[in-house]
């Protein structure tokens, strides 16, 4: 006999609809996609059973790009059209990339015509921005997940290094948009790892996550308390990782083999592949034989042992320790308060790294979960919760902004607006005034970083406030609000206080793609896929309508008592209208109906939020009178 399902009073009677969500680790070397199925997080393999997708994209003439293993195999034979470690270029200007000394590998296109400052790599398939190359990787992972799960993904959580600045985060989000993914949240990699380890189930305490990947290094210090992960501080280096180990070893190989300093890109990649192989082998054995073929055809043969390897990589490991010191100080904790250190990233397989990190923090290092997979697993768990599959889950992640946000003031100095390690979301309002009589516009330059000089910080954006009413110098009061959202992304709004004029703000990202560029790329990709743009617009709007209806309906299930009969009737009418419109084929009408519903539910939303807060603080009201 079938059992009757009876829902709890007050809960929705509709059977809980499981939504498809995934966590994506978009790594420098490899990328992964994971999902939660039957309560367990698992990495999704490709048709050959491989979990790791090499983050390599090869562009071809007249053919779609290759991504992954095939592309990686072409790294040495087709170096100019094959892009690896593209994460290092995300949100970066050409000057930054060259500082990292990897620009010589690619043919970067001159910026012609467009005022865009995004570096583009010249390939046979045209000039490619790092965002586009990343989107190719994401598309493969999306297809893999949707094929395995048998449906369209509602949303994904994509991980980013905790130390990624605003431009790098924005570039990641842009890549997701290009790959037609809905981003539920950008999650910091160390925080994702802490989630995967289930540290929240342990007793209250302070934990460190040391994440040394292929190209980036992060350190995060978290305090855990009954399901809440509170990041206390984070620090790192977005241009330090296993790639640098390889480069250092390759240089040693070149010296040993007596190669000159002048080298072709092909030769460089062969050397680096040999270096990487030796490095990985030395995690298990004490010594490994290495060989390098010289230009004259002769072959140099030698040995690399752990002792020599340690000499080569120790300076790089040391470089990770100064961010560790800073993170400890910013968190305001002492070494003896730390429970353990979670090791993340392929480079933490190195015994030397484990040894040095354990020594530095005076505690155990946790290496139970595969350091390559732990981040994707954490992202999948968070995605499952955010999409709404676990309504009773108590887990909450409170993360921080890794670098201070500031604005340029007179003389090229930086005025800090939001300090590093402030918990997000956070905001700060700052007042500006005019410098000259009758001035009607104001230019603001937003930077990120800890240094005092603008030139030493990362330029994020420049924006202009226009439409300030003409006044004498210093009379205008322009209030600029900087808001950092839960993804760690900055938005800016401005208002002239004296006149109440809402100034328009146009943010021009310093090294990002503009909205119109992204739109154009989307159009191009659709034209490629021969997809009908109108049909797509309609579908997207219908999905949006479904979301809006569901949001209001589920709010009504729990909090309908907050509405008067009249308000309820108005809301019901707006809901009904949207349902009707969503069945139709006019995306403009659907959009209008969504806006009407939003307007009708504004007050309801505010009351619900207040009710939520009062419920949370309900037991504590008495203390106000103590």
Q: Pick from 191, 276, 290, 267: which is nearest to 242 by CA?
A: 276
Write the CB contacts of 292 (distance below 8 Å, at least 6 apart in sequence).
Answer: 253, 254, 256, 257, 259, 271, 274, 299, 300
Work out how close the CB of 515 gets to another protein at its nearest, in angstroms, rounded to a whole number: 19
Dist. CA 330–CA 322, nearest whole Å: 12
> Contact at 8 Å (CB) between 304 and 249?
yes
Name the one residue in this structure whose structure tokens are 């009708």.
Answer: 600
202 contributes a contact to another protein by CB under 8 A? no
Judged by beta carbon, residue 124 or residue 396, the one nearer another protein is 396
489 in contact with another protein (CB under 8 A): no
| Known active-site residue 532 | no
Find where tokens 């350190």 sit. Answer: 219
Based on the residue annotation, tell me whether 586 is a catalytic residue of this protein.
Answer: no
- Compare residues 50 and 547 and give the one whose CB is closer to another protein: 547
Residue whose CB is less far from another protein, 222 or 290: 222
Question: Which one, 34 or 387, has the nearer CB to another protein?
Answer: 387
Catalytic status, residue 189: yes
Q: Which is nearer to another protein, 296 or 602 (CB)?
A: 602
* 359 sits near another protein (criterion: CB under 8 A): no
Find the catalytic residue in 189, 243, 372, 384.
Answer: 189
- Strand ranges for 370-456 from DSSP E: 396-398, 405-409, 413-418, 426-432, 442-448
Of 399, 324, 330, give the one whose Cα is nearest residue 159. Answer: 399
Supply φ then ψ for residue 398, to 5 degrees: -115, 105
Q: Which H or E run contains 385?
A: helix 374-386
Q: Shortest approach of another protein to residue 589 CB, angstroms?
A: 18
Site string for another protein, 526-565 (x = CB under 8 A): ---------------------xx-xxx-xx----------
Q: Which is nearer to another protein, 104 or 423 (CB)?
A: 423
Region of residue 345 (left: phi > 0; alpha: psi -120 to 50; beta: else)? left
Which of the following is catalytic: 211, 243, 340, 384? 211
Among 160, 219, 424, 478, indicate the residue that binds another protein (CB under 8 A): 424
Taking CB under 8 A as the binding criterion, the range among 167-175, 271-279, 417-425, 522-530 that sits at the site for another protein is 417-425
* Interface pattern 48-77 for another protein (x via CB under 8 A): ------------------------------
Spatial contact of 442 and 506, defined as CB atoms under 8 Å apart: no
Choose which of 115, 296, 530, 623 interacts with another protein (CB under 8 A): 623
173 touches 487 (CB < 8 A): yes
Torsion-angle region of 457 (φ positive above 0: left; ψ -120 to 50: alpha; else: beta) = beta
- Measured distance CA(152)–CA(167) in Å, rounded: 29
Q: Is the dihedral of CA 454, 130, 521, 536 positive or negative?
A: negative
3-state class of 499 per DSSP? coil
Query: What is the closest distance, in whole angstroms, from the C-beta atom of residue 450 to another protein in the complex?
Result: 9
Of the candidates 46, 87, 96, 136, the residue annotated as catalytic is 87
**Residue 221-260 contact track with another protein, rule CB under 8 A, x = bound:** ----xx-x-x------------------------------
Q: Are 489 and 173 in contact (CB under 8 A)?
A: yes
Nearer to another protein, 41 or 386 (CB): 386
Residues 385-414 that bind another protein (CB under 8 A): 385-388, 394, 396-398
User: Segment 106-165, which members bind another protein (CB under 8 A)?
Assistant: 155
451 belongs to the binding site for another protein (CB under 8 A):
no
> In this structure, what are the phi and psi dihedrals at residue 186, rounded to the nearest 5 degrees?
-90, 125
List binders of another protein among 500-519 (CB under 8 A): none
Residues 29 and 23: their CA atoms lie apart, in Å, by 17
Q: Please count the other Cβ atoms lying within 10 Å of the Cβ belonging to residue 289.
A: 10
User: Any contact of residue 574 with another protein (CB under 8 A)?
Assistant: no
From the CB of 141, what's the least distance to another protein, in Å? 20
Active-site residue flag, 436: no
CB of 584 vs another protein, minimal distance in Å? 21
- The helix/strand/coil state of 351 is helix
Query: CA angle at residue 197 from 321 to 220, to 5 degrees?
Result: 30
d(CA 122, CA 94): 13
- In the numeric block, which tokens belong to residue 311? 């000499």
Binding part of the chain for another protein, among 93-101, 243-251, 362-370, 420-428 by CB under 8 A, reads: 420-428
Residue with tokens 């992202």: 379
Nearest distance from C-beta of residue 354 to another protein, angstroms: 22
CA distance 132 to 138: 10
Which residues, numbered 585-614, are part of the site for another protein (CB under 8 A)?
Answer: 597-598, 601-606, 608-610, 612-613
Q: Which residues are designated catalytic?
A: 25, 87, 189, 211
Q: Which residues bind another protein (CB under 8 A)?
A: 155, 184-185, 225-226, 228, 230, 322, 325-326, 329, 385-388, 394, 396-398, 422-427, 483, 485-486, 547-548, 550-552, 554-555, 597-598, 601-606, 608-610, 612-613, 615-617, 620-621, 623-626
């Amino acid at each position: 006999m079938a059992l009757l399902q009876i829902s709890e009073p007050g809960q929705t009677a509709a059977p809980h609809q499981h939504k498809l969500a995934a966590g994506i680790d978009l790594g420098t070397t490899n990328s992964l996609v994971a999902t939660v199925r039957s309560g367990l997080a698992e990495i999704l393999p490709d048709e050959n059973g491989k979990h790791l997708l090499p983050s390599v994209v090869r562009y071809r003439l007249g053919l779609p790009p290759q991504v992954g293993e095939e592309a990686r195999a072409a790294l040495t034979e087709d170096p100019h059209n094959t892009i690896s470690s593209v994460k290092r270029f995300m949100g970066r200007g050409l000057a930054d990339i060259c500082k990292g000394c990897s620009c010589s590998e690619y043919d970067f296109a001159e910026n012609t015509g467009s005022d865009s400052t995004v570096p583009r790599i010249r390939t046979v398939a045209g000039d490619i921005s790092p965002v586009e190359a990343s989107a190719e990787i994401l598309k493969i992972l999306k297809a893999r997940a949707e094929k395995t799960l048998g449906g369209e993904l509602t949303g994904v959580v994509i991980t980013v290094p905790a130390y990624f600045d605003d431009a790098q985060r924005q570039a990641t989000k842009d890549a997701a948009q290009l790959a037609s993914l809905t981003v539920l949240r950008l999650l910091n990699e160390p925080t994702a790892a802490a989630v995967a380890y289930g540290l929240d189930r342990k007793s209250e305490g302070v934990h460190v996550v040391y994440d040394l990947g292929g190209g980036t290094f992060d350190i995060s210090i978290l305090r855990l308390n009954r399901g809440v992960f509170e990041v206390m501080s984070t620090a790192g280096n977005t241009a330090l990782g296993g790639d640098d180990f390889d480069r250092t070893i390759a240089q040693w190989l070149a010296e040993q083999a007596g190669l000159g300093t002048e080298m072709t890109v092909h030769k460089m990649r062969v050397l680096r592949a040999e270096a990487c192989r030796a490095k990985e082998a030395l995690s298990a054995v004490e010594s490994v034989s290495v060989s390098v073929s010289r230009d004259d055809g002769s072959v140099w043969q030698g040995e690399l042992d752990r002792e020599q390897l340690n000499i080569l990589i120790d300076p790089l490991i040391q470089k990770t320790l100064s961010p560790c010191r800073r993170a400890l100080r910013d968190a305001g904790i002492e070494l003896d308060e730390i429970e353990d250190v979670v090791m993340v990233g392929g480079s933490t397989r190195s015994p030397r790294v484990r040894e040095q990190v354990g020594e530095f923090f005076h505690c155990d290092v946790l290496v139970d979960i595969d350091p390559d997979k732990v981040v994707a697993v954490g992202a999948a768990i968070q995605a499952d919760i955010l999409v709404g599959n676990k309504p009773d889950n108590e887990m909450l992640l409170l993360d921080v902004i890794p670098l201070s946000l500031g604005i340029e003031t007179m003389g090229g100095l930086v005025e800090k607006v939001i300090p590093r390690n402030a918990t997000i979301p956070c905001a700060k309002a700052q007042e500006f005034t005019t410098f000259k009589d009758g001035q009607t516009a104001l230019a603001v330059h937003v930077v990120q970083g800890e240094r005092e000089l603008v030139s030493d910080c990362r330029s994020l954006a420049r924006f202009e406030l226009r439409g300030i009413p003409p006044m004498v110098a210093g009379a205008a009061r322009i209030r600029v609000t900087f808001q950092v959202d839960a993804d760690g992304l900055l938005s800016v709004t401005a208002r002239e206080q004296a006149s109440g004029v809402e100034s328009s703000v146009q943010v021009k990202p310093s090294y990002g793609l503009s909205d119109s560029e992204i739109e154009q790329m989307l159009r191009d990709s659709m034209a490629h896929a021969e997809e009908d743009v109108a049909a797509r617009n309609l579908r997207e709007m219908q999905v949006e309508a479904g979301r809006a209806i569901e949001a209001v309906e589920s709010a009504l299930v729990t909090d309908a008592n907050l509405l008067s009969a009249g308000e309820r009737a108005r809301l019901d009418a707006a809901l009904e209208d949207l349902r009707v419109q969503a069945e139709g084929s006019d995306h403009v009408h659907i959009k209008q109906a969504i806006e009407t519903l939003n307007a009708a539910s504004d007050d309801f939303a505010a009351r619900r939020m207040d009710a939520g807060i009062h419920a949370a603080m309900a037991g504590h009201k008495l203390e106000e009178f103590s």
